[in-house]
Amino acid sequence: MLLYDENMKTFIEIFGWFGTLLVLVAYGLSSFAILDHESIIFQSMNLVGALGIGAISFYKKAYQPAWLNVAWGLIAIMALIRIVL
């Protein structure tokens, strides 16, 4: 059971850092007009990034950034639905 806990902790840490990187890269690409904010790629990066940051925030019981990223993810989902439909 301890190995599972360590593996899960490592996975969540990596996922959190990956999420942070995705959000920053998406923001940078959008800010320099390399990626359109209405693209599926941009919104998908924001969604996956929000999931990663939200996961590590909940895991570490940092609820303010966790809930901020729940909202961030919901906005990305709504934007993706609007883009696809």
Tell me the two tokens of residue 81. Answer: 């639905």
The two structure tokens encoding residue 20: 């942070």
Torsion angle, CA of 74/78/80/85, rounded to 10 degrees? 160
Q: What is the mean pLDDT of the chain?
A: 95
Distances (CA, A) of 76 to 18, 40, 43: 17, 9, 5
Contact 50, 73 (CB under 8 A): yes
Number of domains in the chain: 1
Question: Is residue 4 predicted with pLDDT exceeding 80?
Answer: no
The answer to whether the pTM exceeds 0.85 is: yes
Domain range for 25 is: 2-84
* pLDDT above 60 (res 1): no
pLDDT at 28 over 80: yes
pLDDT digits (tens, 9 = 90+) for 42-57: 999 999 999 999 999 9
Q: Residue 2: pLDDT band by 50, 70, 90 thresholds? A: low
